[in-house]
Amino acid sequence: MRRQLAWGLCGLTAVCAAGQTVLLADRPLLSAAAFLEGWPLLPAGTVVGTLVGALVVSRHPGHRVGWLLCAGQATTALGLFAASAGARAGPGHPATWLGAVLGATMGLALIAALLLLAPDGHLLSRRWRPALAAGGTGLAVHVLATAAVGPAGLDASGQPLRIAPLHQLLITGGTVVVIGSLVAGAVSLVLRLRGAEGERRSQLLWIALPAAVLAAGPLVLLTAELVVAAQPGEGTPGPGVAALLYLPLFVGWAGLPVGAGVAVLRHRLFDIDVVVSRAVVLAVTTAFVAVAYVAVVVLIGGLPGGPAGGPWPSLTATAVAALAFQPLRRRVLRLADRLAYGPRAAPYEALADLTTRLAGAPPPDQLLAVTAAAAGTALAAQRATASLDLDEGPSLEAGWAPGPDPRPPPGRTTVEVRDAGEVLGRITVVLPPGRSLRAADRRLLDDLADQAAPAFRNARLEVGLAASVAAFDRRTTELAHSRRRLVDARTTERILLERAIATDVLPCLAALPGRLAAAGAAWGRGGPAPDLESLITATTDVLERLRELSHGIFPVQLARSGLGPAVRALGAGATPPATVDVDPELEGRRHPQPVESALYLCARQAVQATAGPAAVRLRELDGDLVLEVRGRHVTRAAAEVADRVAAVGGSLELDDGVLRARVPGGQAETPAQQSTSRSGPNSPLGTYAAAPHPSSSTSSSA
């Protein structure tokens, strides 16, 4: 129902605009007289305004600005049609009265409401409610007073003839109150524009442009009336001059509802910042020149003996106004740019502020945030990011995003931060939809990147130094833990060995010294022969126990036969026995003693750490020896194994139930090299490896 009503008002507006065109067809439509009745700007503006309002209501049925456009433009079109019809019917016609009721005051009230509510249909705050209520009250007073006058009290142009002073006061007072509401709406728009960023600022600019033109319209008319009043001998301006004076008013009046509708629908197809800036400059310049011109003309004309006519007062006023405006020109341009561009009006001030903040050598994260904020603020971007490339690891990044995440994402512009030809990082800005980066903006972004380059270099060095210090501290901590683990492991092994000797060996040796002493004494007295067999058996038992203990520490088989047989023996002696798979290519091959020792001890610790049966695999891969141990809880031995593997330049990998050690295999040794390296006088295993097996020694002794 709401949509149908909105489109119905749009149709009514089109009919009224067409009707006014038909009524004006009795004279040339392009004449000054037709233009003074508002054609074609005002009818076209009302049609476009109601069309945009109907579109807004179609998408947002409850939007206040949409309904304000539909209802306000429809009544304005009806008033224009009634005024044109009354002008042709003569004084006292009801159409003239209707046109006066729906005339300029209602249009000004509409503009005031638009300025107060645009672009989202809400007031800036609750404090602006009296301004909106004042506009409605002034309009109601004006309409009621005009309605009370009746058609008989109006001339053909809709102006009051002879009415009561109270009616005149109410009509004038209502219009003044509406104008006050209009001023409040303009102030509200300026406050919104100053505090707006990104998308909201782009919306308000569509309203600011026609509002600036509209504000210049009454000023131009007032200036013309003052000039005419100051020079009574000149006469009133003709229709052509009057049409030219009314042009800003009609353009702003027709463009304001259109701009408000476009802002609501968010169709920002053009970058209108420059247009708004120059419109503000034009309005301020016109106001200043007009006031100065009128003041000088009135002052010169009022001097005793001053020139009564001729061109001299006008020339003098023009020269004085031009000379007086020149010192204010820079401030006016600065004000216009500030209103149009906001913080972007002084971009190099942002660059200077960045330089000041960088002088304090902020940390890398703050540096990136400051740089992104400077770029985003200087270019009035929707969001901005700054990133720093590092020698190792991912890049550091910080962002500045005053607005919401754009959907769909707009175009991005990225510049590289370079120092001595090296790319240190990047600055990326995201402009609002419909805006593109101009040449001046690109130069500013490049200057900002150049300014930030030394700070990026220092930040990169700082991050690299911090990473190196952290790595050094981490390595120092790891080495300390590794040394502690090795010391603890060595201490634990010594304690276990001492306990094993005390438990298994010493009890067997306790009786041997006495028995040997008794056998020696009996042999010396020539008595019966001692029981040497029992002594040999006890001694052999002690040697067997020592051999078992030494086999667990470092097996003789590893020194004599190599890594493969030693690992197989380890698997066979485990409880429960472990499955061992040795690559056939490793059979009969020997590797440096530290490599074989490290892998064997790793295999022993991993097998001992498993809960249940273990599977051991030994193979060669690209010249490296790879030891894999599978079993439950095998990763418990990772700490001890890691230290042994790292000691021979290897690496350790842990998987679910798999411990994989990979060490460089080194050069395979010949049998002669094996004999020299493992049984030579300088070898720590030389004496133990070269010694005969205890069982063989026992047999020969026997």
Token pair in block for residue 320? 């004085």
Write down the architecture of domain 556-701 according to CATH. Answer: 2-Layer Sandwich (3.30)
Q: At 431, is the secondary structure helix, strand, or coil?
A: coil
Res 669: pLDDT: 56
CB atoms near residue 398 (< 10 Å): 19
Any bridge partners for residue 423, and if so which? 418
Any bridge partners for residue 625, and if so which? 620, 663
How many whole angstroms separate alpha carbon 103 and alpha carbon 230? Answer: 29
User: 479-488: long-range contacts at Cβ-Cβ below 8 A with a sequence spacing of 24 or more?
Assistant: 482/642, 482/643, 482/646, 485/639, 485/640, 485/643, 486/643
Residue scoring higher pLDDT (644 or 198): 644
Cβ 539 vs Cβ 670: under 8 Å: no
How many whole angstroms separate alpha carbon 49 and alpha carbon 71? Answer: 10
Share of the chain above pLDDT 90, in %: 4
DSSP string, 182-222: HHHHHHHHHHHHHH--HHHHHHHHHHHHHHHHHHHHHHHHH
Average pLDDT over residues 147-162: 66
**Mind listing the pLDDT tens digit for each residue in 597-652?**
888 888 888 888 887 889 999 999 888 999 999 998 888 888 778 878 888 888 98
Average pLDDT over residues 133-156: 79
Res 157: pLDDT: 58
CA neighbours closer than 13 Å in the CB half-sphere of residue 293: 19
Instruction: Please give the backbone phi and psi of residue 286, each rounded to the nearest 5 degrees, phi first.
Output: -60, -45
Share of the chain above pLDDT 70, in %: 69
Any bridge partners for residue 419, and if so which? 422
Residue scoring higher pLDDT (312 or 329): 329
In whole angstroms, how far apart are CA 329 and each of 314, 321, 333, 643?
A: 22, 12, 6, 79
Task: Quote the crossing angle between the two packed helices 439-500 and 347-358, to the nearest 10°.
Answer: 30
Token pair in block for residue 549? 């203990």
Query: For the chain, how are helix, strand and coil distributed in percent, rounded to 5?
Result: 70, 10, 20
pLDDT of 235 higher than 60: no
Instruction: Please give the backbone phi and psi of residue 661, each rounded to the nearest 5 degrees, phi first.
Output: -110, 130
Task: Report which of 170, 176, 171, 169 is spatially closest to residue 159, judged by C-alpha positions.
Answer: 171
Rg of the chain over Cα atoms, rounded to whole angstroms, equals: 50
CB atoms near residue 553 (< 10 Å): 12
How many whole angstroms separate alpha carbon 378 and alpha carbon 398? Answer: 17
Res 628: pLDDT: 93
In whole angstroms, how far apart are CA 278 and each of 67, 241, 281, 345, 605?
A: 31, 24, 5, 13, 84
Q: For the chain, what is the mean pLDDT?
A: 75
Residues 6+ apart with CB under 8 A from 592: 666, 667, 669, 677
Average pLDDT over residues 149-161: 64
Q: Which residues of 406-442 are buried (b: 16+ CB within 10 A; e: fewer)?
A: beeebeebebebebeeeebbbbbbbbbbebebeeebe
pLDDT of 509 higher than 90: no
**Confidence bin at 553 (pLDDT 50/70/90):** low
- 17-31, 187-201, 275-289, 304-318: segment of lowest average pLDDT: 304-318
How many whole angstroms separate alpha carbon 538 and alpha carbon 536? Answer: 6
Residue ranges, comma separated, of all CATH 3.30.565 domains in the chain are 556-701
In whole angstroms, how far apart are CA 465 and each of 57, 387, 388, 452, 460?
A: 61, 18, 15, 20, 8
**Mind listing the pLDDT tens digit for each residue in 417-460?**
988 888 889 999 888 765 667 777 788 888 888 888 888 888 88
In whole angstroms, how far apart are CA 143 and each of 137, 148, 353, 447, 682?
A: 10, 8, 55, 59, 120
pLDDT of 244 higher than 90: no
User: 40 preceded by cis ω (within 30°)?
Assistant: yes
Res 311: pLDDT: 53
Residue scoring higher pLDDT (362 or 353): 362
Residue ranges, comma separated, of all CATH 3.30.450.40 domains in the chain are 346-457
Res 697: pLDDT: 35
Token pair in block for residue 480? 């300390």
Q: At 124, is the secondary structure helix, strand, or coil?
A: coil
Sign of the torsion angle spanned by Cα atoms 236, 238, 239, 243? negative
Task: Quote the crossing angle between the two packed helices 198-230 and 273-302, to the nearest 10°.
Answer: 20
Res 682: pLDDT: 38
DSSP string, 75-95: HHHHHHHHHHHHHHH-TT-HH
Any bridge partners for residue 266, and if so which? none
pLDDT of 702 higher than 80: no
Res 280: pLDDT: 58
Write down the architecture of domain 346-457 according to CATH. Answer: 2-Layer Sandwich (3.30)
Residues 6+ apart with CB under 8 A from 382: 198, 199, 401, 402, 403, 406, 410, 430, 431, 432
**Mind listing the pLDDT tens digit for each residue in 53-112?**
887 787 778 777 778 888 888 888 888 888 888 777 766 677 777 877 777 778 778 778
User: What pTM, to 2 d.p., does this model score?
Assistant: 0.41
How many whole angstroms separate alpha carbon 588 and alpha carbon 564? Answer: 8
Cβ 580 vs Cβ 648: under 8 Å: no
